[in-house]
Each structure stands twice: as C-alpha cells, then as structure tokens.
Amino acid sequence: MNSSFNLSEYFIQHGKAVESALDQYLPAASGNFAKLHESMRYSIFAGGKRLRPVLVIAAAEAVGAMAQEVLPAACAMEMIHTYSLIHDDLPCMDDDDLRRGRPTNHRVYGEALAVLAGDALLTAAFEVIVRHSRGQDPKTLLKVIEKIAAASGSEGMAGGQAFDLQSEKKKISQAELETLHRHKTGKLIQVALEVGGLMGKANPQQLEILARYGELIGLSFQIADDVLDIEGGEEIGKDIGSDLAKEKATYPSILGLEKSKRLAQEITESALQSLTALDQRADPLRAIAGFIIDRRS
Ligand code: GRG
C-alpha cells in the first residue's frame, strides 16, 4: 500500500463533499414541513463518520471512477443509515438518549416526528439517486435501487433489526449472532461497496471482490462496535455499556473480549487479502479495513 496515503484527509475531503451535497439535496427547514425537515437535518448533520458514503466513493475510485459520479448514491446511503439510527433509538426499540454525541432525535422532536423523519429520509434516499445521478445508464440505476432496497428491507437491515429484537434476553449462538449482524449492519455496508462498483462500471470480477470485501468489513465493523461498547470512551457519542445493560448478545459476551478482538483482526486480514487483484486505486479500501477495527467511535 502507498505509505503516503492519508485516510483522515480522505475522510475529511470526501466527508465535506458528501455534507455539501446532502445540504443541497435535502429540503430546507422552512415552509409547511419546516419542523419535519429540521428534524431530518438535525440527525443528518449531527456529525457521523460518513463511513458508508466514503465506502461508495472508495469502491468507485478503486475501479477507476470519480467521486463526483457516485455522490448522490453516497448521500443516499447516509440518509438510509441515519434513518436506521433515528428509529433504532426510539423508545419502542433501544430507547437511547444520546446519539452522535447529541440528544437523540425523538428527545428533541418527539417520537412521532422522529418516526416521520426516518420514513422521509429512507424514501428521499431513492429520490436523490434518481433525481441527481448524472450520466448513469438507467439499467444500472435500477440495479442500484433494487440492491439498496433489498439491503435495507426485511431480508436486510430491517430483518436484522427484527432478529435482534427477538433475540433480546435470550442466549443465542455465535452463528445466530453472525446472522443478526450480517443483516442488521452488514448488508448496508456491503451494498455501499456494490453500489460504488456498479456505478463505477466495475467488471464482474471486480464486483465480486467488492462484495466480498464489503461482507468481511461489515462483520469486523460489528465486532469492533461490540468491543467499543465495552472499551469506548466519550468519543463514541452514545451510551457506553448499553449492550450489557440491555442484556444483548454481543461478540464479547459469547467469545470474550480478547477472542473477539482476535476475530476482528483475522477478518480484517481476509478483507485485505480479498483486494489482492485490485491495484493501488484500492488503497483507500485497504486503509479503511484497518480503520474499522482501530476506530474510537
Ligand atoms: C430501525 C430498521 C431499523 C434498523 C436499525 C443499523 C441499525 C438497524 C441500528 C443501529 C444500531 C447500532 C448502534 C448498531 C451498531 C452498529 C452501528 C450501525 C453503529 C453506528 O454506525 P456508525 O458507527 O455511526 O457508522 P456514525 O454515527 O459514525 O454514522
């Protein structure tokens, strides 16, 4: 890997482009629906890492495309991710008070508006892709929309969330925990890479590589998240130890802390291996694989 590559600069540069595009795509907090729009904007601009949009961009660049070409799809991924966090924090789900270092959406705007802000962000994501993607073949756009919808729906993120709710306070196996996370968080991360590849005109072999890499980092991301819930500091921006308090099955609760960290490391190595056939344009993806398990938030 090119040793001069600087991942924080990469995140800052693309994060800024994503934020300014989000600002342009999202409706203004004025007019008849001002409060709803304000609530959508509150959570979108609360300072997340922008991991999923950066993954879309890094995947597109890895196969020779430009960030600009995939910016609407990158923003759409962040909108869906943000919707999932708003809904996940609701009293009927995780009932959390803090997200991204700020009071959760329903704490500020009330439950009804938080539900609607999530609904509106999810649907606006598809609108943004269709309305703002330039120069994409309509067939590719349809494929992208199908993939994102599937990754978000009942056999993707929403399914994983349901599996999570039904597993609460139960003893589940490592295989079941993996199923839960592959869907709840993994599918959206994986599809970010596939979308970047599809819009970046990846060939079938490149697409397969990106999907495999996405699957692996989706898993290591979740193990790292479980570890952070135990070891994280204030930077994490949400209530620490919340998994334990809610008696949630986690990798550390099943495997122990050290074994969980080792597993995350092994999966990261496999993720790096999966990229072998890609050239130096995939260096951002290589750096992200390491960042996912070393992050502090
Ligand atoms: C409500 C349909 C529905 C789904 C919710 C993804 C999800 C499903 C809930 C999120 C719960 C959670 C905190 C899971 C742990 C992994 C995770 C998604 C962490 C947050 O993602 P980051 O770290 O957050 O990328 P930022 O704030 O940086 O964007």
Instruction: Please tell me the distance between residue 86's alpha carbon and the centre of ligand 1 in angstroms.
Output: 9
Instruction: Please tell me the distance between residue 293's alpha carbon and the centre of ligand 1 in angstroms.
Output: 15
Instruction: Please tell me the distance between residue 222's alpha carbon and the centre of ligand 1 in angstroms.
Output: 9
pLDDT tens by residue, the chain, 297 residues: 666 789 999 999 999 999 999 999 999 999 999 999 999 999 999 989 999 999 999 999 999 999 999 999 999 999 999 999 999 999 999 999 999 889 999 999 999 999 999 999 999 999 999 999 999 999 999 999 999 999 999 999 999 999 999 998 888 999 999 999 999 999 999 999 999 999 999 999 999 999 999 999 999 999 999 999 888 765 555 555 666 667 788 999 899 999 999 999 999 999 999 999 999 999 999 999 999 998 776
Is residue 87 within 6 Å of ligand 1 at its C-beta?
A: yes
pTM: 0.94
Index of the ligand 1 atom closest to the CA of residue 86: 1
Angle, vertex CA 12, rays to CA 11 and CA 17, nearest 5: 95
Instruction: Please tell me the distance between residue 81's alpha carbon and the centre of ligand 1 in angstroms.
Output: 7
Residue 22: partners with Cβ closer than 8 Å, 6 or more residues away:
44, 45, 75, 78, 79
Instruction: Please tell me the distance between residue 157's alpha carbon and the centre of ligand 1 in angstroms.
Output: 10
Per-residue b or e along 112-146, where b marks 16 or more CB atoms closer than 10 Å to that residue's CB:
ebbbbbbebbbebbbebbeeebeebeeeebeebbe
Q: Whose CA is nearest to atom 29 of ligand 1?
A: 48
Instruction: Please tell me the distance between residue 277's alpha carbon and the centre of ligand 1 in angstroms.
Output: 31
DSSP 24-37: HHSPPS-GGGHHHH
Index of the ligand 1 atom closest to the CA of residue 52: 25
Pocket test for ligand 1, best of 11, 84, 96 (most atoms within 8 A of CB): 84
Tokens of 195: 């979308």
3-state secondary structure of 98: strand
Q: Whose CA is nearest to atom 2 of ligand 1?
A: 158
Q: Residue with structure tokens 């925990």? A: 177
Angle, vertex CA 187, rays to CA 277 and CA 150, nearest 5: 115
Instruction: Please tell me the distance between residue 280's alpha carbon and the centre of ligand 1 in angstroms.
Output: 30
Q: Which amino acid is residue 254, in one-letter code? A: I
Angle, vertex CA 197, rays to CA 87 and CA 284, nearest 5: 85
Cβ proximity of 55 and 214 under 8 Å = yes
Residue 24 CA to residue 22 CA, distance in Å, equals 5
Tokens of 224: 């790292």
Cβ proximity of 274 and 208 under 8 Å = no
Index of the ligand 1 atom closest to the CA of residue 82: 29
Index of the ligand 1 atom closest to the CA of residue 295: 23
Strands 102-103 vs 98-99: parallel, antiparallel or unpaired: antiparallel
